[in-house]
Structure 1
């Protein structure tokens, strides 16, 4: 079990206290215990994909949370979603590639439980899907009440654009050029969640150089 500590969070964000943190990216850190997040009252964006998080209980106190990325974790049951019901500012949620996303009518049931969302996983939520969600099976409030069933087909991932050609004046040294070209090529392969993570990392890197 890998526990996320206050020291790690403060070191990563360069903040001097947990309540000053607005964005946190700990993608692919093998984390299973993220209980410290409950103390981040002002956090707005959490990127915790590719970890081992099983419970959503620690996020329910993050009242300002607007984007939560939890793709490829270990959230086992849709009943966990009720922990997010009170997050009125939550607009973007990624839960795909968790066991809970395999349950019957996963999207419609999450949308019914969290009507404040505007985007779930890869797809925006439209009026037609909201109407359909009203008739979806309610999500139980405890895992013992859950009745997992095979999933519906997931929404298709949008086609990726072709990588742009690097500018002629991209850098002075050959090494810098090669790194920059590689980064630019990889950007075209990233989805929205990954791009958001890259954006956060770039902003933190720029701040550290000032």
Structure 2
């Protein structure tokens, strides 16, 4: 459960495709627009969102909006979602539209800025534990990241340390993925390898004047 955890955004939960139950009572979720991050969770059947700021203004409108945007729910705030409510929500609930993703920006080396900024390998220890907390998993202790304890660093050592942290974070996360999620990781990795291979080939090619 993620209840009473000062959570204000549901963005990171959008990638948890295996979630079937989500308990978010007594958090700091400010707006029902955050529901858009849950719309792709096809297995989500139970949601407890009560006692958040987004629920206070109009309880009826709140329930109708949640049901309209998450019609697959079987239970909301410990109350069964009825067929009548599903029909009523189409009339009285507010439809939330997910914003379009940013358009890719071309760069001179053939990679996109979004590709580098949204690199799935850029995870620190803090980010790893944040994701694990949102999944309801046990946080990893500091000693699981042995490179954090390395003392004096000179030259390129800090950069190598960051890369080591990144690799460790990814490997630790992969232990908890199922087969379908591992295939996604494999696909992204292969795509990244191809992109970087093409970039190296371009860098090696002589520049014609």
Both structures adopt the same fold (TM-score exceeding 0.5): no
Q: Which has the larger radius of gyration?
A: 2
Larger helix percent? 2
**TM-score, structure 2 as length reference:** 0.44
